[in-house]
Structure 1
Amino acid sequence: MLDSLKAALADKVSTAPTDLETHGKDEAYPIRSLPQAVVYAQSLEDVVRTLDWARESGLAVIPFGTGTSLEGHVLPQGPAISLDLSRMNRVLEVRPEDFLAIVEPGVTREQLNAALKGTGLFFPVDPGANASLGGMASTNASGTTTVRYGGMHHNVLALQVVLADGEVLELGRAVRKTSAGYDLKDLFIGSEGTLGVITRLTLRLHPLPSHVHTLRVFFHSLEAAADAAYALMGSGLPLARLELLDELSLSAINRYLQRSYPEKPALFVEFHSSTREALEAESQMALELMREAGAVAVDAARTPEERNAQWEARHQLYWALVAQYPGHKFMITDTAVPLSRMPELVRHSQRLLREMGLGGSIVGHVGDGNFHTLVATGEQDYPKAEAFSARLVEKALELGGTCTGEHGVGLRKKKYLAHEHGAALEWMRQLKRLFDPQNILNPGKVV
């Protein structure tokens, strides 16, 4: 069967064991499942040919970016091929006068921002990993800057998408807003490759902030830090990042990156302001607010080098924890709740970890009501970590939240969608059947 695929796409098809292994896992899901082949697409035509072959053969196709997803999005659930889009990695056009860029799906966020140097603009969505922009759109990624700039839904203006039947759609327009017809573009953002394959993105760009100030604020307890985060959100200050880290996180970072942060729960805070005067006034207001909220220590990152070091520490947290727990697996999951309930969910998560005897770190984008738990487990304890995740999701839903704020559904969160969406889940399934009647696009995921 694969001979006909190789005849159509020649050396773009690989069955090498190392390639199959790379495309049969993600960063955190515990199960590995290998595809039968990997197609390294280099053009729109390659994607169309692959889907033509899949329809004829009945084999599933799983779009693949950089493999940095966490919830089992890219794992085959039966015979499948992996459609790797990483070689479609050209920045096609940058239009500074329109504050937009047009890219292929394999372009990573760091690659795009490197291409934007000298324009005074940047692409702000920052999930931590250097993920592909196509993959980020497919999971509706967000991250540390979402509190100010929004996630992928807010920053994708248009998409080119190939449907399961090979039809190419142009969705959205290169404008800031439109009211023309149903918003099909946003239907594909967050669909995790189950409705179509993204082959081009038009992205919204933002001016680089002229004045940036960053604080590290430490507290005697995680609960106090969460309460302070809520107070900051209500202050009206121009927050660009608001990140919560627990004491375990700071301990791991200190050892891994040779830092000397106080090993206490902390908020990492960043402001983007229009003038130096405004920045100074806003920083002073934030300091007063944090002290009133119980801060025990405050440290400012004043130079670009210090700011970069601070956010490097936040982004390197996962690897710091891996180094702290050698030989362990990690169950990494996220939930999100209304802002007023976020401190309560943080308290619940910390209490639950203690009750279940699990070692784990709590870290998150608390300005969005969204946080992550990274639970270190041995092979035998992994089911206990999954049980923790289930109980945490149940609490988030009870508080009016969601089972996932930014990781996406994949395999792990499918079982919660009926509870979260009720009758709407069946309409999602009907949309899946409409766009993909043969069920060849990433089957077994989301719905």
Structure 2
Amino acid sequence: MADDGQFSRTLLLAVDAWRYGTRDDLQQRDLQRALGTAVRESALRSDLDPARWQRQDAGDGMFTPITDGSAEPKVIGSFVRELDEWLGRYNHDLQPQARLRLRVAVHQGVAIPAALGHAGAAPVHVCRLRDARVVRELLEVFSEANLVLAVSEEIFEGSVRPRHTSLSVKDFTRVEVAEQAKEFFATAWVHVPGVAGERVGAQLDAFAVSLSFAGTAVPPPRFFEQAVCRSFDAVGASVPEGAEASGEVLSFPVPAGLSGTVLTGTWIEHLRKNTDAQFPGIRLAAGIARAPDPAVACAEATRLAGSDAAGRLLTASTRSRLVIVVSEEVYEAVVSRGGRFVFPASYRHHEAGTGCWFRVPGHSIPPDPGPPQDQPATGAGSPSATATTYGDHSTAIGHGTFTAPFIMGDVHQHGSDR
């Protein structure tokens, strides 16, 4: 075994920079210099000795065991606070895309010196926490934040809960990290400096999806496996558990660790493509809701997907066989912030009895679903008409042009002198 496998249980720190790969060569050089300075100066201000750290650098990040037995409370408290303040000063006059923003993770365990740095389950664990999807998404969602801190359950229970650190329990939010592709599953606790824990918790509430199938009594056979599960697999998430079918509605909680931004953006896009490819002709409404209780989120998602307005939108849309319906909470906390395949301007607010937002892929703005089925379509200021169509012509009437077919008949605009 290389380096005689020295046993050392120690504190482990992993840091990585935001969007490093999108920068050019000179920007990457400057960012590496700034990252090293930020960590070193923040450590010194926290009464830590970075000269003794066995740093393992990787361009856009670093990993290091910290052998100082008294370092743990300082790293989680004053070091993170000093690092956040240093980044705030550094980023003050920079364009948003040029800022130095960090993902920071802390764990403890055995790190064995090896030929290329360190080996062991604990170094892998801390780097998996740092790179977890939920940590990345929090840094994207809270664009004002300079860093996101993730600590392992061992660190939280050993240092934070017993009040050995200047950060308290209320400063952290519990998350379940599930990285299916890497076979990594863990509980962690996250902290976003400058962002209230309630806001972080709201972003991490349980999501649920309900799919309502138009014109069919039950979901098509194998739809869950071939469309839903494949869509979650495409975004690196585990298969949803607890899916339930009731009539034409299929509901399921979203796997822990999948952010609302990925769910309403990339996942929905994969669902649309898989449905078109595997089940041509299927028309469905997808309701997306969130709540602290997964059962409550499922019930709300079912209400949204089965709403009368969603059904009328499916009928009104000629360019898409999918309608997406999100609750007010999902729109405000997730959609309004935008993201990959998440376009706030493409949603339409519908207040009448639903309190939700609609999007129809293929429409820049969803068509008007029209009045509920028990309300008349005409009234004061609404047009009524009798018409007969002939031929393939275009003709001008008033200030507008009507394209084929040619219209003959009487058009009346109530409440107007035209």
Same fold (TM over 0.5): no
TM-score (norm 2): 0.29
Q: Between the two structures, name the one with larger relative contact order (CA 8 Å, sep ≥ 6).
A: 1
